[in-house]
Amino acid sequence: MSARSLIFPQAEFQARTTRLQGQMHADGLDALLLTAAADIFYVTGFLTRFWESPARPWFVVVPAQGAPVAVIPAIGADLMGRSWVQDIRTWPAPMPGDDGVTLLADTLAELVEKTGRIGLPMGLETHLRMPLADYRRVEAALAPRQCVDATHTVQRVREIKSEAEINKIRASCALAGRAFDRVPEFAQHGCALDQVFRRFQMALLEEGADWVSYVAGAAGQGGYGDVISPAGPTPLAMGDVLMLDTGAVRDGYFCDFDRNYSIGPASAPLAQAHSALWHATEAVLHSLRPGMRACDVHRLLCDEIVKQGAQPGAGRLGHGLGVTLTEWPSFTPQDTTPLRAGMVLTLEPGVALGDGTRILVHEENIVLRENGCELLSPRAPETLPEIS
C-alpha cells in the first residue's frame, strides 16, 4: 500500500498510554474520552488532514488499563486499522439523529462502572470536538457515571515530550530553518507580500514539510501592527521590516518560530530593537531551568528587554509546542505552571516601537533539559539580516 506506516514504534504509544493511565489513577479517573485531533494522534498515531472537515466527530477512549478503544466514522477504519489500536468500533457518519452517540455511550458504559468517573479536557486551551447537543446526550446516557474535567491529566502527560517526539520537532525546526535561509531569494523590494507568503510555503514543502498548517507575518516601515494577519498584495518597500512566522508540520509535529528581514538597510531603531530581542532571548536561553514557573519566564524576558533599553510588547511571550502549533503553558504573568525537563517551548519576546502601535517579535524553539535549554530552531542571527 502507498499509505504511510506508523510514525513511531508501538512501544511509544504504549508508553504514552501507560503514563496517561498513571496520571488518570492519580486524578481519580476511570476512563478518558478524547475528541480532539491532537489528543487522538498522541495516543493512537492516527494522523490525517481529514480533521479539516467538520462533518464527523471522532472518539478515542483510554480505559483505566489496556489499550485505547476507537469509536470512529467508518471512513477512518482503514487508517485507524494500521495503528496499534485493535478495538475499533465504527458507524456510518454523518448520521442524522444518532451520529455515534449510542455507540460511544455504550462503549463507555461497558468500560466504566456505574460509580466511575470519565474525564475529558474541559479547561483552558481545550475544545470538545463534537456537537454540544450530542455530548449532552452521551453524558445523560452515562449517568450515574460522572463526566469531569481531565485537562490537568492530559496536559501534565503530553507536556513532557519523549526523545522520539523531540527528534520530530527538531526535524520540523531544521526544515523551516532551511526555508528561512531561502527567503532572500523571493522577498526582494517590489515583491508582493502575498506572493512572498506563497513562495515561503513552497520553500517549506521543498525542504521537507509534509504540509504547512501555519504561515503568518507582516511587513511595514519601522515595525508591524499585528502578527496574525494573512498577506495582502502590497509590494515590499525599501525600509520595510518583513516578518515571517511558520508552523510547518513533519510527521505530525510542528515547529513554531519566526524570522525578521530588513528590506534594504535597517533604520537604527529597528536594528536596536532586533538586537534587544536577540540579547534578551540569549540571556533567558542561559538562565531558564526546570523548577521555574511559566510566569517567571515572562518576567525574565521583560526584565531582559528593559535591560537592553527597549520596551516589552504586550501579550504572551512564548508557549508549549508539539502536536499543535501552540500548547500550554503560556508565558504570561498569570500562568503558574511549573516548568519541567522534557518540555518543548517557544521563547517569543516582542518589543513596542515608535508610538507603541508597532512591534517587532522574535521566536526560538527549545527543549528544556535538567541543566537548561537546548535549542531546536537554528538560532537567529544577532544582527537583523538585510535583503538588498
Q: Please tell me whether residue 335 binds a second copy under the rule CB under 8 A.
A: yes
Q: Please tell me whether residue 108 binds a second copy under the rule CB under 8 A.
A: no
Size of the chain, expressed as the number of residues it contains: 388
Nearer to a second copy, 34 or 308 (CB): 34
**Whole-number Å distance between alpha carbons of 348 and 220:** 20
Show the cell assigned to 167.
527528534
Q: Please tell me whether residue 218 binds a second copy under the rule CB under 8 A.
A: yes
Exactly one of 12, 19, 48, 290 binds a second copy (CB under 8 A); that residue is 48
Residue among 266, 263, 270, 267 nearest 191 (CA): 263
Residue 372's region, left for phi above 0, alpha for psi from -120 to 50, else beta, is left
Nearer to a second copy, 42 or 308 (CB): 42
Backbone angles phi, psi at 10, to 5 degrees: -55, -35
Q: Please tell me whether residue 129 binds a second copy under the rule CB under 8 A.
A: yes
97 vs 92, 120, 382, CA distance in Å? 12, 23, 59
Residue with cell string 511558520: 246
Instruction: Report whether 31 contacts 68 (CB < 8 A).
Output: no
Query: What's the closest the beta carbon of residue 317 comes to a second copy, in angstroms?
Result: 12
Nearer to a second copy, 140 or 307 (CB): 140
Residue with cell string 508549549: 320
Name which of residues 336 to 355 contact a second copy (CB under 8 A).
Answer: 336
The span of 16-24, 63-71, 75-83, 153-161 binding a second copy (CB under 8 A) equals 75-83
Q: Please tell me whether residue 325 binds a second copy under the rule CB under 8 A.
A: yes
Nearer to a second copy, 167 or 234 (CB): 234
The span of 12-20, 174-182, 193-201, 275-283 binding a second copy (CB under 8 A) equals 193-201
Residue with cell string 483552558: 124
Which amino acid is present at 49? R
Q: Please tell me whether residue 265 binds a second copy under the rule CB under 8 A.
A: no
Query: What's the closest the beta carbon of residue 78 comes to a second copy, in angstroms?
Result: 4
Q: Please tell me whether residue 143 binds a second copy under the rule CB under 8 A.
A: no
Q: Please tell me whether residue 54 binds a second copy under the rule CB under 8 A.
A: yes
Exactly one of 14, 22, 28, 74 binds a second copy (CB under 8 A); that residue is 74
Which amino acid is present at 58? W
Q: Please tell me whether residue 292 binds a second copy under the rule CB under 8 A.
A: no
**How would you list the strands of the sheet with 31-34, edge to edge?**
87-91, 69-73, 59-63, 31-34, 117-120, 146-149
Binding residues for a second copy, rule CB under 8 A, total: 91
